[in-house]
Chains A and B, each alone.
Chain A
Amino acid sequence: DTEVTQTPKHLVMGMTNKKSLKCEQHMGHRAMYWYKQKAKKPPELMFVYSYEKLSINESVPSRFSPECPNSSLLNLHLHALQPEDSALYLCASSQEGMVGGGREKLFFGSGTQLSVL
C-alpha cells in the first residue's frame, strides 16, 4: 500500500462551523505533513509531525489545529475559518521526516478541496 488517503474530498463550511480533515497512511512512515495550496500556486507547508510530535508549525493561525493520534493518522481541525482559507489542503508522508533530511521523498494524498462561505 503506497497510498495517502484523505477524507473528505470536498468540504463546504460556514465561518462559524467546526470541521476536521483526515489523512491516513499505512506505509510505516514516521513523518506526516499538512500543506495548503491555492489555485495555480505551489503548495505551502503548514505543519510537520515527526514521530508523532509536532516539529514544524509555519506560523499558521490558531483556527487551524493539527493532531496526530498515531503514526498512521493525521487530522486537521478547523474552526472559525475565513473565506481566504478556501484552498486545497494536501496531506503528505515520508519515511523519516526531519531526521531523514534532504533525501526524503514525499508521498501526497489527493487533497481536500475546502470552501469557506
Chain B
Amino acid sequence: AQTVTQSQPEMSVQEAETVTLSCTYDTSESDYYLFWYKQPPSRQMILVIRQEAYKQQNATENRFSVNFQKAAKSFSLKISDSQLGDAAMYFCAYKVGTSGSRLTFGEGTQLTVNP
C-alpha cells in the first residue's frame, strides 16, 4: 500500500523568508503523480503544485517549487518570499498513474507566517 508521510506537524516562517515543507512517500509503482494542496482557514483545498514522476525537472509555480528526489522518494515544497496569505495547512498527496486510482494524502503540515 502507498503511504505519504509529512514529519512536520507544524512549521513557522517569517514574512518574506523561505520555508521548506517535507514529504516522503512509499510506493512500488513507476508511474505516479505527486501533489501539494493548501487548505487555508476558508477550508477550500487548493492545488499548489503537481509533479509527474517521469519528469526529472522539478515543478515550479511562481514562489512555490518542489525538490523531487525520486530515488529517495522525497517530495519537499519550498515557499519563497513567504506571504501572510500562505498561512494554511499543507497536504502532500500521491496518486498512481493508472485510471481508477485514489488520491492518498499525508497528515498535513500547519504553516504559520509571522509578520
Residues of chain A touching chain B, judged by Cβ–Cβ distance below 8 Å, are: 40-43, 45, 55-56, 88, 90, 92, 98-111, 113
Contact = CB atoms under 8 A, between A and B. Distances in A.
The dominant DSSP class at the B interface is loop
Contact of B100 (A41, A101, A108): A101
B45 A99 contact: no
25 contacts: A41-B108, A42-B105, A43-B105, A56-B102, A90-B43, A92-B45, A98-B99, A98-B100, A100-B99, A101-B98, A101-B99, A101-B100, A102-B31, A102-B95, A102-B96, A102-B97, A102-B98, A102-B101, A103-B33, A105-B47, A106-B47, A106-B103, A108-B44, A110-B42, A110-B44
B9 to A, nearest CB: 9
Contacts of A111: 43-44
A101 B98 CA distance: 5
The dominant DSSP class at the A interface is mixed
For B33, B43, B98, the residue with the greatest tally of chain A CB atoms inside 10 Å of its CB is: B43
A42 B33 contact: no
Interface of B: 31-33, 42-47, 50, 52, 89, 91, 95-103, 105-108, 110
For A41, A101, A107, A111, the residue with the greatest tally of chain B CB atoms inside 10 Å of its CB is: A101
Given A109-B44, A111-B43, 16 more contacts: A41-B107, A42-B105, A55-B100, A88-B43, A99-B99, A100-B99, A101-B96, A102-B98, A103-B33, A104-B95, A105-B47, A105-B50, A106-B45, A108-B45, A110-B42, A110-B43
Contacts of A100: 99
A68 B101 CA distance: 21
A33 to B, nearest CB: 9
A102 B33 CA distance: 6
Contacts of A90: 43, 45
B45 A43 contact: yes
A105 B43 CA distance: 18
Contacts of B44: 108-111
